[in-house]
Amino acid sequence: MAGGIDTDERTSAVGLFNFARSYWQSAEHLNAANLKVSHPSAPVTFLFCHAIELYLKAYLRGAGKSVAELKQIGHRVANLAKAAVSTGLKIEPEQSEVLSHIDDDDIAIEARYIVTGFKRVPTNEALSGAATHLDQTVCAALAKRGLPVRGETFERPEPQQERRLSLDTERLLDHMFKIDNWELCEVGYMCDVLRLERSVLQYHLDCLEEAGFAKLTSSRYNNVYWRLTPDGRRYVMESKGA
């Protein structure tokens, strides 16, 4: 393009590869976070699928395909994989099966929208394996062509375990839940009822505050009052199976 950078220069194999790696590793971190949201797996699935698409496009650009040719192939992973294999990319049968199901079930699209009904789709664990395989194989292929990609060892983050409250913290939480009059959630009163030293009770209150289950509401004279948050009440109800 006269006077500027053409499309092929803007969309390079290295740029696509680095973008793919960013989506893949972001998916791994989000997957390990175990977020307490209504559809935790959907964003992870989308990130994995987009990473896989970008890895295949990075390989094809490195093999000489133009951006216009990539547009002709389209976004369907099966078509991109077929084109990549025909130009020399080695994809293991297990990974090939996963890539084919991305198209069969349109899971990348479904991950962006609410789609009801019975579906059988690859798990995020399977998508993670496919993305990991492509990161290694595409990186090696691009490096072999003399392109400046960086091989790296990525350690998948460990899933975050839900923090469990201690028995005494649970006992305090249950006590605060049952009290109708919030003034009875005064620190001195709770120390007497629960038979806990003030410093020990404060430790358990700190645990509840850190978990987002309780908060300090007021302090008058020597009296300090705490209340449960909506999340604290929800936790009690869910833990009781209500």
Residue % of the chain over a pLDDT of 70? 87
* pLDDT recorded at residue 2: 46
Give the pLDDT confidence of 8-51 residue by residue, as tens digits.
888 999 999 999 999 999 999 999 987 777 778 889 999 999 99
* pLDDT recorded at residue 163: 57
Give the pLDDT confidence of 157-173 residue by residue, as tens digits.
887 655 578 889 999 99
Q: Please determine, for residue 131, whether its predicted confidence score (pLDDT) is greater than 90.
A: yes
Please list, residue by residue across 86-103, b when 16 or more beta carbons sit within 10 angstroms of its beta carbon and e when fewer do. Answer: eeebebeeebeebbebbb
Choose which CATH entry (1.10.10.10, 3.40.50.620, 3.40.50.720, 3.90.1150.10) describes domain 167-239: 1.10.10.10
Q: Please determine, for residue 142, whether its predicted confidence score (pLDDT) is greater than 70.
A: yes
Q: Quickly list DSSP for 74-119.
A: -S-HHHHHHHHHHTT----HHHHHHHHHHHHTTHHHHTTS---S--
CATH class of 7-144: mainly alpha
Give the pLDDT confidence of 82-128 residue by residue, as tens digits.
999 999 999 989 898 888 878 644 555 454 544 444 345 678 899 99
CATH 1.10.10.10 in the chain, residues?
Answer: 167-239
Please list, residue by residue across 39-60, b when 16 or more beta carbons sit within 10 angstroms of its beta carbon and e when fewer do. Answer: eeebbbbbbbbbbbbbbbbbbb
Distance from C-alpha of 58 to C-alpha of 55, rounded to nearest angstrom = 5
Mean pLDDT over all residues of the chain?
Answer: 86
| Amino acid at site 132 | T
- Tell me the two tokens of residue 242: 């209500």
Contact 78, 102 (CB under 8 A): yes
* pLDDT recorded at residue 79: 92
| Amino acid at site 138 | V
Matching residue, tokens 């009440």: 233
Higher pLDDT, 215 or 117: 215
Residues constituting the chain: 242
Distance from C-alpha of 203 to C-alpha of 166, rounded to nearest angstrom = 11
CATH 1.20.120.330 in the chain, residues?
Answer: 7-144
Residue % of the chain over a pLDDT of 90? 54
Terminal alpha carbon distance of the chain: 65
What value does the mean pLDDT take over residues 129-143? Answer: 96
The H or E element that residue 216 is part of is: strand 214-220
pTM of structure: 0.64
Q: Any bridge partners for residue 228, and if so which?
A: 214
Least confident among 102-106, 142-146, 212-216: 102-106
